[in-house]
Amino acid sequence: MFPTAQSVDTLIVGQGPAGLSAAIYTARAGIKTVVVGMPPKIDGEYDIDNYFGFDETVTGSELMARGRQQAERFGADLVTERVLGIHHGMDGAFEVKTEHSTFMARSVILAAGVSRVRPGISNLDDYDGKGISYCVSCDGFFYKQKPVMVLGEGNYAVNQALELKNYTSDVTLCSQGKALTMTDDFRARLDEAGIPIIEKKVTTLEGSPALERAIFDDGESIAVDGIFIAMGEASASDFAWTLGLEREGIYIKSDENQRTNLPGVYAAGDCVGRFLQIAVAVGEGALAARQAINHVKKTAKEAAS
């Protein structure tokens, strides 16, 4: 279903200021760099007049265009696709799946923000850890041959539903009342896997001591032991769950050099929850890049010896 994986030194998730800043440093150091993501929110027609080095106001789109051009000038490859999942690969590498590609990366820099769409279920928190999950790789095993549901309307949700088929044949996808945004290709993958789609909204949950049923807005219900939340696009928080990164609330925990608890994985920008400013994101991207460069060179040297 996915093409043969492309090998890269550093894969950066996110095309915002932190991600592009990191790409400039890694690519300039001769590290094979791929930056994957969709245009960030900052890439718009609004004014920025407090960024260093600009004596006149610059728009967000102008600033981001310059960043992309600079990263590409040094050899970074920018891929405008959504990242669907990041998993541990062989020999310390990381497997990164996008909508149309697969990469094997020696290092990963997460710079994709932390936004997560809430599903609007009245008693969702009551079932956190008792049937509600945000990570198929983490929790799919616990639902072997049990009925499960994925909440989401896009390609990310489809990818999660397909991954669940490794654990159970009883998988349903619910759009949570939202218009479907999945591509025709991903819709065909659902059909091929025999995963039905329900275009209604789950409003409340029932079961004791754990989840047993999901109740829809029309009063109907479905028996489910597990619900996996995959609304909108995958964020850095979702990848943190999958990789086992330490978190502080919704943010990824990183040290003063943007290192996470997992060697080879670094985090920068809004996803680490510091001062949410472009200048800070750019600096954090540079720090993360330096660590990624050192990691790639070290692992390459070890592999050659």
| Widest distance between CA atoms in the chain | 65
- Residue range 210-267, pLDDT digits in tens: 999 999 999 999 999 999 999 888 888 889 988 999 998 888 999 999 999 999 999 9
The tens place of each residue's pLDDT in the chain, 305 residues long, gives 456 789 999 999 999 999 999 999 999 999 999 999 988 777 777 788 888 998 888 888 999 999 999 999 999 999 999 999 999 988 889 999 999 999 999 999 999 877 666 799 999 999 988 999 988 888 899 999 999 999 999 999 999 999 999 999 999 999 999 999 999 999 999 999 999 999 999 999 999 999 999 999 999 999 999 999 998 888 888 899 889 999 988 889 999 999 999 999 999 998 998 888 899 999 999 999 999 999 999 998 888 87
For residue 45, the model assigns a pLDDT of 76
Alpha-carbon gap, residue 96 to 89, rounded angstroms: 9
For residue 116, the model assigns a pLDDT of 61
For residue 234, the model assigns a pLDDT of 81
For residue 2, the model assigns a pLDDT of 52
- The residue type found at 130 is K
Buried b (16+ CB within 10 A) or exposed e, 137-151: bebbeebeeebbbbb
Instruction: Report CA 204 to chain centroid distance, whole Å.
Output: 27
DSSP letter string over 55-99? SS-EEHHHHHHHHHHHHHHTTPEEE-S-EEEEEE-GGG-EEEEES
For residue 115, the model assigns a pLDDT of 63
Q: Mean pLDDT for the chain?
A: 92
Alpha-carbon gap, residue 17 to 283, rounded angstroms: 9
**Burial class of residue 201, CB neighbours in 10 A (0-12, 13-18, 19+):** middle
| C-alpha closest to that of 149 among 221, 236, 240 | 221
Handedness of CA 94, 114, 288, 240 (dihedral sign): negative
For residue 250, the model assigns a pLDDT of 81
For residue 129, the model assigns a pLDDT of 84
For residue 301, the model assigns a pLDDT of 87
- Parallel/antiparallel/unpaired status of strands 94-98 and 83-88: antiparallel
Tokens of 19: 């991600």
For residue 15, the model assigns a pLDDT of 94
Q: Which helix (H) or strand (E) holds 148?
A: strand 148-151
Alpha-carbon gap, residue 143 to 221, rounded angstroms: 19
In order of their start, the domains of the chain are: 6-115+235-304 (3.50.50.60), 124-229 (3.50.50.60)
Helix (H, G, I), strand (E, B) or coil at 171: strand
For residue 275, the model assigns a pLDDT of 85
Considering the entire predicted model, what is its pTM?
0.83
| C-alpha closest to that of 89 among 5, 3, 1, 22 | 5
Alpha-carbon gap, residue 251 to 63, rounded angstroms: 26
